[in-house]
Amino acid sequence: MNDVNTVECSSLFFRRGGREVLRDVSFTLPEGALLGLLGHNGAGKSTLIKLILGLLRPASGTLTVLGGAPGEKPLEVGYLPENVSFYDAMTVQEHLDYFAGLKGVCASRVKELTDELGLGVVLRQRLGQCSKGQRQRLGLAQALLSKPRLLMLDEPTVGLDPAASALMYRELSDLRDSGCSVLVCTHELALVEPYLDRVLLLADGECRGSGTLENLREQAALPALFSGPGIEKALSDPRLAPMARGRRLAVSEGRVSEVVRILTTDHACYDFQLRKADLGMIFAHYVLNVPLEKL
């Protein structure tokens, strides 16, 4: 990651049918970062992606993509739509050749990508006979054909099993490591969390938070979580009981050392795990408005 921003978005408004679908959305996607675009259904995620692609125009605000206007550099932006449509009667190879022709990409790049994404074994297979996972790999391949500097994927892992989803996220993080800026929209918070550099949290068309997970934890003073068998025995301690959430303890950062002391000194409890608020908690707090004491 460096100081250049691939996407800069400031006070963006978008209206549709007299309704504000996006209101005052601001965020940046630094070059070489992996950004998770998160929000409930209908929050405005796909709309924002289409604005960045230049397929829709904002009512107001500024949006700079790769230093220019959205849609100005189509070959430098790869896109995997939410519902990508392929032709069931055409083979994987025929699809790749077709997309390569549209983008003016040579055959050697097609070969390179099929090797990288493990599509070699299904090249002669018709799309009608491909699994959901294979279709999504083809979707990813078409998005990567022109070696884009910005890659956007709209819910790329819907319908994939957890292993295939994790593989997709690992591939996205490899692309990020090679310098590509990646924006991925997903609901699989736990699976994607390890790979994200930043998140943008949308709810009802508004930006509820953006930045690194650490920024978001700090801004809302989200609690750390103690869990494990040792904790359960100590839950009835009147000093700890108010922090109990089921079998866990949710503890504000400032009180973590005090709780560790109570557990170890007063309860001889060493059998616990301590971790920071996870993306699920961040989402619950910022997007769903769950108050800290209910997290």
Tokens 């998140």 identify what position?
Answer: 199
* Residue 209 contact partner, candidates Mg ion, ligand ADP, none, CB within 5 to 8 A by sort of partner: none
Binding pattern to ligand ADP, positions 20-59, x when CB under 6 A?
Answer: -x-----------------x-xxxxxxx------------
| 93-132 positions binding Mg ion, by CB under 5 A | none
CA distance 29 to 8: 7
Closest CB to ligand ADP among residues 41, 85: 41
Tokens of 252: 């504000």
Closest contact distance (angstroms) between CB of 43 and ligand ADP is: 4
Closest contact distance (angstroms) between CB of 44 and Mg ion is: 8
53 binds Mg ion (CB under 5 A): no
* Residue 39 contact partner, candidates ligand ADP, Mg ion, none, CB within 5 to 8 A by sort of partner: ligand ADP
CA distance 79 to 179: 17
* Residue 238 contact partner, candidates Mg ion, ligand ADP, none, CB within 5 to 8 A by sort of partner: none
Closest CB to Mg ion among residues 45, 285: 45
Closest contact distance (angstroms) between CB of 146 and Mg ion is: 24
* Residue 16 contact partner, candidates Mg ion, ligand ADP, none, CB within 5 to 8 A by sort of partner: ligand ADP
With the C-alpha atoms ordered 222, 228, 232, 233, is the resulting torsion angle positive or negative? negative
CA distance 116 to 94: 18
Closest CB to Mg ion among residues 21, 277: 21
Number of residues this chain uses to bind Mg ion (CB under 5 A): 2
Closest contact distance (angstroms) between CB of 228 and ligand ADP is: 36
Report the half-sphere exposure of 6 (CA within 13 A, side-chain side).
Answer: 26
Name which of 127, 118, 133, 136 is nearest 91 in CA terms.
127
With the C-alpha atoms ordered 49, 54, 60, 62, is the resulting torsion angle positive or negative? positive
Closest CB to Mg ion among residues 39, 209: 39
Name which of 184, 177, 134 is nearest 159 in CA terms.
134
DSSP 22-81: EEEEEEEEETT-EEEEEE-TTSSHHHHHHHHHTSS--SEEEEEETTB-TTS-GGGEEEE-
Could you say which of 28, 46, 64, 93 contacts Mg ion (CB under 5 A)? 46
Closest CB to ligand ADP among residues 17, 291: 17
Footprint on this chain of Mg ion (rule: CB under 5 A): 45-46
Footprint on this chain of ligand ADP (rule: CB under 6 A): 16-17, 21, 39, 41-47
